[in-house]
Amino acid sequence: MSTSTETIEQLANREYKYGFVTDVDADTIPKGLNEDVVRLISEKKGEPAWLLEWRLKAYRLWLTMKEPNWQNVKYDPINYQDIVYYSAPKKKKVLNSLDEMDPEVRATFDKLGIPLEEQKLFAGVAVDAVFDSVSVATTFRAKLAEKGIIFMSFSEAVREHPELVKKYLGSVVPYSDNFFAALNSAVFSDGSFVYIPKGVRCPMELSTYFRINAKDTGQFERTLIVADEGAYVSYLEGCTAPMRDEHQLHAAVVELVAHDDATIKYSTIQNWYPGDKDGKGGIYNFVTKRGLCAGRSSKITWTQVETGSSITWKYPGCILQGDNSIGEFYSVATTNNWQQADTGTKMIHIGKNTRSTIVSKGISAGHGQNTYRGLVRIGKNAKNARNYSQCDSMLIGDKCGAHTFPYLEIKNTSARVEHEASTSKIGEDQIFYCRQRGISTEDAVNMIVSGFCKEVFRELPMEFAVEAQKLLSVSLEGSVG
Amino acid sequence: MLQIKNLQVKAEDKQILTGVDLHVKAGQVHAIMGPNGSGKSTLARVIAGHPEYVVTGGEVLYEGRDLLEMDPDERAREGVFMAFQYPVEIAGVNNAYFLKAAVNAKRKHLGQPELDAMEFMELIKEKSKLLEINQAMLQRAVNEGFSGGEKKRNEIFQMALLEPKLAVLDETDSGLDIDALKTVAAGVNTMRGPDRAIIVVTHYQRLLDYIVPDHVHVLSAGRIVKSGGKELALELEQKGYSWIETGAQPVGA
Ligand SMILES: Nc1ncnc2c1ncn2[C@@H]1O[C@H](COP(=O)(O)OP(=O)(O)OP(=O)(O)O)[C@@H](O)[C@H]1O
Ligand SMILES: [Mg+2]
């Protein structure tokens, strides 16, 4: 098998085409974290006193917390005093239109394929663009406002809809939730806010595009989405960062709330800089995402395609509180070169007749380590709860690893829980079969991997499914020689 | 079309082919028979370029070019086709999508415009009738859950779509019922022509009643020990292989 291992194993340099740096005049505060920094961030954003109080409580709690170490990933300790907690492109005054935006920032998004002029966008997708610590543009706002939909940066929402923010902020992920959630609550700088009123079906995809640009800067954004009774929204986030030799920290919090009969689809295409082929640099992606199915027959679907980051650590989960509510998690995570991912979901069944589906596809290449970690908890009042989990792993080469840790806690005997798991090696024979039909090795790998991920890709909105497929092929580039 | 000279092949330190000589001209059909484990599939796979095999001696010329120098996908695009003895399943990859990728890879290589979805469906319609490939088989994942016979028909269907110059069919008849055998043979026969060479590997004379070969060879212990016309197959059917190994002196033994 020596020749075949060789064929499969040749790790080449993959290119990360989003790795450029934009030269902008930025308002950046010095490195380090203390109460004054928290106050400064709050002040820069002109926040009300209650929010500053909330941040400070989070900060003080964070000081007493320990960084978690149970995950199946390895990294050198993070020096939290060596991070810049706020950096924003300078602007002279409040922006009234996109024309007033820093042309460099705007060019950045153009280069990333995210044009911010409304007419140029994908038909039917509204975008909020976050550059380092702040949101720089939100498109289609007026059109959405006609239906009562609020889609704006988090900072604006704090100013314009304080009652909504106050009501829901921390209601799903309290600042005390975990180490990184507490850190985020103390220093979060921006993010997106969405509110869909009763009975409204959001007529377009909403999307936030996150870009880390500044050096030594952490990105700590918060996203809060509330779908009122009978509302529907599909939301997508994408992210990229420049190539840098140092690791950068991204610690976000996402909270979703679905009331009676409401549906939220949340899709992520995560393509932070993964580090180079020797494992130098890359983003630490430590994220807390949780959805609350608060109402009866509500539904939350998480779909994620995780191709970037040097370390990914996240478990988008659902709390199925309303009776008949549904939680879904569809995930593709790839790790190539020295990337590590420990990801999965938590499905917490509280209401009766609640259902959850978990489909996880892990792909490991190079020295990549891919861990699925999932919790299914069926509470004692969750009569007739059902869960179906499927965790498939694919290995490319023999230096990578796949690990599966499913946790089950069942306190109601009427529960039905099914778990299936498989591990396969991308076969030399499959690749040869494709090549014998004239298909190149690279196309063959892409085809086989896409086939493997099909159940997840079909959950993504059309435009993004194509994007995701492309990303996947870039992220595995060079994994098979 | 294909010239194999003293080909010696190893896999995992096991010498499998010990000196194969074979000369196949355009327009001809050659049958290769021989006991289990004699190296028939190995020969087919080496022609197709399977990376598991190491050529330790000899040469293979395809249209005068060194075939062994070419990558497997390049060979395919240049017109070398192999129908697999055990076709591989690829989960989640739509069969029609796979076929289109294959056809277009070849067209691109030959400088022809790629077919769009409509044109491709037209092509499929025409060829699928011939091999009784139904719509359901096209929409399923490549070979996934196909019966043994369906897999073999799908192989010949691919050959019909790709129109190779040199086709090596490795035991395409095994696992086929009598009707499917006729369908597959008819499919292969329509492909016969002055510009195409076909090598069929088989254990059974029966296939050769339908696909009548110009030459029959017996491969044993990694070399061709006997060659003849189509009557040789009949003889083998009656007497088995042992008489060749004992009776006739293999060349160079
Ligand atoms: N990749 C490989 N590695 C090691 N040994 C191999 C490999 N491929 C084939 N062999 C061995 O080489 C010999 C010839 O195998 P091959 O498959 O070519 O035979 P065959 O003539 O096609 O047999 P059958 O009639 O059973 O299909 C067998 O002993 C087989 O086990
Ligand atoms: Mg064989």
Neighbours of A174 (CB within 10 A): 15
Q: Is B210 exposed, middle or buried (0-12, 13-18, 19+ CB in 10 A)?
A: middle
Number of H helices, E strands in chain A: 11, 23
Cα of B46 to nearest chain A Cα, Å: 11
What H or E segment, with its residue span, contains residue A22?
A: none
Contact at 8 Å (CB) between B40 and B32? yes
d(CA A290, CA A300): 10
Q: How far is CA A367 from the centre of its chain?
A: 23
- What is the pTM assigned to this prediction? 0.78
* % residues pLDDT > 70 (chain A): 77
**Residues A148-158: pLDDT tens digits?**
999 988 888 99
Atom 28, ligand 1: which residue's CA is nearest?
B37
Contact at 8 Å (CB) between A311 and A338? no
Neighbours of A4 (CB within 10 A): 16
Task: Look at B88 and A428 and tell me if their CB atoms are within 8 Å.
Answer: no
pLDDT at residue A142, as a whole number:
78
Q: pLDDT (tens digit, 0 to 9) for every residue of chain B, 253 residues total?
A: 999 999 999 999 899 999 999 999 999 999 999 999 999 999 999 999 999 999 999 999 999 999 999 999 999 999 999 999 999 999 889 999 999 999 999 999 999 999 988 899 888 988 888 888 888 888 899 999 898 889 999 999 999 999 999 999 999 998 889 888 998 999 999 999 999 999 999 988 889 999 999 999 999 999 999 999 988 988 888 888 877 764 444 444 3
Segments of chain A scoring below 50 in pLDDT? 1-14, 92-94, 119-123
Query: Is ipTM beyond 0.90?
Result: yes
State the DSSP string of A165-197.
HHHHTTSSS-TTS-HHHHHHHHH--B-EEEEE-
Task: Look at A433 and B88 and tell me if their CB atoms are within 8 Å.
Answer: yes
**Which tokens is B114 given?**
């790629």
Contact at 8 Å (CB) between A296 and A260? yes
Task: Look at B101 and A452 and tell me if their CB atoms are within 8 Å.
Answer: no
In the sheet that B2-11 helps form, which strands lie side by side, from edge to edge?
B14-24, B2-11, B54-62, B65-66
d(CA A104, CA A132): 13
Q: What is the Cα gyration radius of chain B?
A: 18
pLDDT at residue A98, as a whole number:
56
Contact at 8 Å (CB) between A284 and A179? no
**Residues A373-421: pLDDT tens digits?**
899 999 999 999 999 999 998 888 788 888 888 899 999 999 999 998 8
* % residues pLDDT > 90 (chain A): 39
Q: Is B40 exposed, middle or buried (0-12, 13-18, 19+ CB in 10 A)?
A: buried
Q: How far is CA B152 from the centre of its chain?
A: 11
Counting ligand 1 atoms within 8 A of each CB, the residue from B8, B9, B12, B42 with the most, and so the one to mutate, is B42
pLDDT at residue B238, as a whole number:
83
**For tokens 């917490």, what's the residue?**
A348
CB of B40 sitting under 6 A from ligand 1: yes
pLDDT at residue A120, as a whole number:
45
Q: How far is the CA of B146 from the centre of ligand 1 (A)?
A: 24
pLDDT at residue B233, as a whole number:
85
CB of B52 sitting under 6 A from ligand 1: yes
Task: Return the sign of the alpha-carbon dihedral for residues B112, A466, B89, B116.
Answer: negative
